[in-house]
Structure 1
Amino acid sequence: MANLDQYRVNPKSFSLKDFNPRDKSERSVTKEEDTVAFAELVSEINRYQDILHAQGKHKILLVLQGMDTSGKDGTIRHVFSECDPLGIRLANFKAPSSEELAHDYLWRVHQQVPKSGELVIFNRSHYEDVVIVKVHDWIDHEECTRRYAQINDFERMLAETGTTIIKCFLHISKDEQKKRLQERLDDPEKTWKFNPADLKERELWPDYAVAYEQAIKATSSKHAPWYIVPADSKTNRNLLVSRLLLKTLKNLNLKYPAAPAEYKSIRIED
């Protein structure tokens, strides 16, 4: 297991090519050891998340971004497999509706941020508005630069009002994406996930890599850091995201709320 800080983006020196998507540093020697380690992690996450919800004080926002097939759905399904849905909420961001397009691009995002005692997972996020729109030239360089600044201000406001933000870029290789897309086509239980439009987007892989690198470098901050998660190995991906989340939960010094003094005199009658 590596030092988690090595995955944290330093905007002064960040380059996506410095991170190997095939890295398996979070894995143990055997699959059995990985299974045991992961089971312990998700159990601890469940325990701390229960306290987070009971205390009703802190807010956590976990942002998951990545290329198509990078494993956002799988990460959510596995990392939160033991958590009580109470106090956890998932927000998916797809193509904006006409109502959403009539507002500023952060309008729909702000509505989904966590309230006190809540952990919210963004499956895709406001970063679609500086990545896909840039790749397809729907906004120019000047507008994209303005949006970087606006996103930094938005996330700083969230942090200053009590939200702890963790942003994870699930980093896969182009070869691994090819493998996963083919698996979707070959497996009858996964074919429903396949979209021919994904192949068009795949042709733009170099453009997406540049757009993500620029967005991550421009928006990784002390109050809202980016972490690069090597994700060719699904096990490595799940272990790393779990460890980042658990570390965040532990750092909040969570405690169950104390019972009111008058509760001590209450006795439940037969």
Structure 2
Amino acid sequence: MPLRQHLLELRRRLFFAALGLVVGAVAGWFLYDPVLSLLQQPLRDVAQERDSVVALNFAGVATSFDMKIKVSLFLGVFVSSPWWLYQLWAFVTPGLTRKERHYAVGFLAAAVPLFLAGAALAFWALPNAVRLLTEFTPDDATNLIDAQTYLSFVMRLLLAFGLAFLLPVLMVALNFAGIGRAATWRRGWRWAVVVAFTFAAVMTPTPDALTMIAVALPICALYFVALGVCTLHDRRVDRRRVAQGLPTLDGTLPSGPGSPA
């Protein structure tokens, strides 16, 4: 596909993804109150444990309105995740055959739960992060946290973990598109483990190693599962090419009676 068509396709997919995000944000507008209460639960738990004031502070006149818009957009990302994930798949794999395009169902069936599972893991780690970051408050002081700052912190945490859990699915999508071979992912497995543990250490600012390991191990496991899927796919493609008398994707020529001279 020429570069111009790639850019036009990218613009088209981004437009459809943004449209789905707007629709999801409208749904998020009506879910604002229960979700905001859920996001504040770690603060309430810390306040109860320490018998002190730990709460959100809406500093400006329009801060509460800004918060509702941001939370709605934040929820829109999750509500519309099946739609924009499909747009990602459709852009990454435009050259697949009609049969291979049916893998879009499997892509969405894996990507959506993984994205939500990553966000759920981040929410599990959130109370520990809040507890650690607020424990430096002096005993005779109150901790009024800026609402905008807290929301940005939570949004980055949930989205970062959700997107991290999507990386193995992206590996498989690139492999199916013929861009990334399993051998490439296999050679980089050590770096993948290092990156997973570094990501877990940065995104979970807690003093205990148990939380970091609990976050890093699922990411590593997903990487190796994706590597296995890519390996099986490459073997299937190579067998099909050999049966047709063509070299494998890594350049190995077929041998045997049907081989080209």
* TM-score of the aligned structures, taking structure 1 as reference length: 0.24
Structure richer in helix, relative to its length: 2
Greater relative CO, 1 or 2 (CA 8 Å, sep 6+): 1
Structure richer in strand, relative to its length: 1
When Rg is computed on C-alpha atoms for both structures, the one with the higher figure is 2
